[in-house]
Amino acid sequence: MKICVVGTGYVGLVTAVTLAAKRHEVVCVDIDKEKVDRINRAETPIFEEQLPELLKSTVNAKTLSATTDLKTAIQNAEICIVCVGTPSLPNGDIDLTQVEGAAKQIGEALKEKKGFLSIVFRSTVTPGTTENIFSAVLQAFSGKKPREHFSICYSPEFLREGRAIKDALAPDKLVIGREDTIAANNWKMVSSVGCPIIETDFKTAELIKYANNAFLATKISFANELGNLAKSIGINSYAVADAIGFDPRIGKQYLRAGLGFGGSCFPKDIKALVAFAKKNNYEPKILSAVLKTNDSQVERFVHLAEKKAGSLSGKKIAVLGTAFKEGTDDIRESQAIKVIGLLLSKGAKVCAYDPKAIESTKKELGNKIEYAGSIQDCLKDAELCLICTEWPEFRIIDFSGMKNKVVIDGKHILEKKNGIDYEGLCW
Ligand code: UGA
């Protein structure tokens, strides 16, 4: 089928390449000309496993191309998939500017379109948005009626950065909110996934996405509470988490205690859900606590650093890992960046190393810190080492170049601890 994907962030691009790999004719649309040119040259704008290979093969096979011309892309498409960003407003509420703007432009383009268009919205949005904004804006700007000229469905994504291609090709579920079956059926057909399909109304599908992320974030904050408590009485919380994980009602995943969660999704989505609940006159006690526990892990980490190394002022501190997790160059809402901010406020001299995220860190922090090209350079003459991201290469490190071999592990990653003064955040 002929598909256009609006928005080429990691969700849009991953959706586009996996559909193009299934031999659909896919056109990516983005307002960023530089990004569009890069995609057409088969250069991936983000670091994501398997993406370079798939982008190359689909661009070469001419099943994938990119453009800034949304109008023409819509004229030629049978399905339009919307994957633009929904960031946070300063009060935590969701910022719908980009999705609203995309809906307006698609509506305008629909006015002159010959033929039917199925529209799949994938951006994470609070319940009611598909009906009150997407559907209403499309009708107002196109002057056309749903079901006669176009059909909408809402299908949230559950892709994890670092393994987004695998998740897109083999999802655990396909959730589809719909009012009619046309767009939903087309979306099921092009996705061609062999997983359970949940078809429901728009609002339920919208809440499923938030509930999924909120539950996982809650598990992490629970693990962190348990970790903080266990450490205070000299127990390794990982042994406790491992044991309870055997209970299938609990499960082993997302129980790794440490520095807490970051990224472009969990913090933003939980804040948006809290703000949404409050707007609907409900005070969400658990969700607010999930955020509070997550924030306090950063403070506990730096506090532990002070406890071990004394005043941090003027001391060289090696920070290993700035990405919000392993397998990505993304530093959005990274706990590591918050740790660095707190270290700087205490007068520390920070030197950071990350295998993939140094460029994005430089863009964020500029010359406030030093950047190392290797783990060894980062550790050289440091008085303290803080491990902030669970990169596998941090498992076995030679700390001999440090001035004082004091290491605090925020991610429970270090395996070899010979000859160092080691302490974990929650164990
Ligand atoms: C998350 C969800 O896992 C995806 O299903 C969802 O589609 C995506 O958000 C989104 O809404 O788009 P992602 O942000 O890539 O995916 O990150 P995760 O792999 O879930 O990790 C989130 C954070 O939790 C990371 O900072 C990670 O280090 C931390 N984490 C994870 C822990 O601290 N402990 C754990 O046990 C697991």
- Tell me: the pLDDT tens digits for 329-349? 999 999 999 999 999 999 999
- What residue spans in the chain does CATH classification 1.10.1040.10 cover? 210-292
- Can you tell me the distance from the alpha carbon of 319 to that of 351, in angstroms, rounded to the nearest whole number? 6
Q: Parallel, antiparallel, or unpaired for β 150-154 and 174-178?
A: antiparallel
Give, using CA atoms, the residue closest to atom 34 of ligand 1: 256
Question: At 219, phi and psi to the nearest 5?
Answer: -60, -40
User: What length does the chain have?
Assistant: 427
Strand partners, 121: 82, 154
Distance CA 221, CA 290 (A): 5
Evaluate whether 361 touches 349 at the Cβ level (below 8 Å).
no
Fold for the domain defined by 293-424: Rossmann fold (3.40.50)
Domain 2-200 top-level CATH class: alpha beta
pTM of the model: 0.96
Tens digit of pLDDT for each residue in 235-271? Answer: 999 999 999 999 999 999 999 999 999 999 999 999 9
Could you tell me which of 402, 259, 237, 267 has the C-alpha nearest to residue 321? 259
> What's the 160 CA to ligand 1 centre distance in angstroms?
6
325 lines ligand 1 (CB under 6 A): yes
Q: State the CATH class of domain 210-292.
A: mainly alpha
Locate 258 and state its tokens. 């440490």
Question: What's the 28 CA to ligand 1 centre distance in angstroms?
Answer: 26
The reported pLDDT for the residue numbered 416 is 84
Residue 159 is given by DSSP the state P
Q: Is 49 in the pocket of ligand 1 (CB under 6 A)?
A: no
Q: Is 220 in the pocket of ligand 1 (CB under 6 A)?
A: yes
Q: Give the containing element (helix H, strand E) for 80.
A: strand 79-82
Nearest residue (CA) to ligand 1, atom 22: 261
Average pLDDT over all residues of the chain? 96
Sheet strands (E) in 255-342 = 316-320
Domain with CATH 3.40.50.720 in the chain: 2-200, 293-424
List the catalytic residues. 265
pLDDT of residue 192: 85
Q: Where are the alpha helices (DSSP H) in 77-176?
A: 97-111, 129, 136-142, 164-169
pLDDT at 166: 96
Query: In this structure, which residue's CA is closest to atom 13 in ligand 1?
Result: 160
Instruction: Give the distance (Å) from ligand 1 centre to CA of residue 107.
Output: 34
Q: What is the full DSSP assignment across 231-267?
A: HHTT--HHHHHHHHHTSTTT-STT---SS---SSSHH
Q: Residue 337: what residue type?
A: I
Ligand 1 centre from 261 Cα, in Å?
7
Burial-class residue 283 by CB neighbours within 10 Å (0-12, 13-18, 19+): exposed
Ligand 1, atom 37, residue with closest C-alpha: 254
Let me know: does 274 contact 92? Beta carbons within 8 Å.
yes
Confirm or reject: Cβ of 405 under 6 Å from ligand 1: no
pLDDT average, residue stretch 385-392: 98
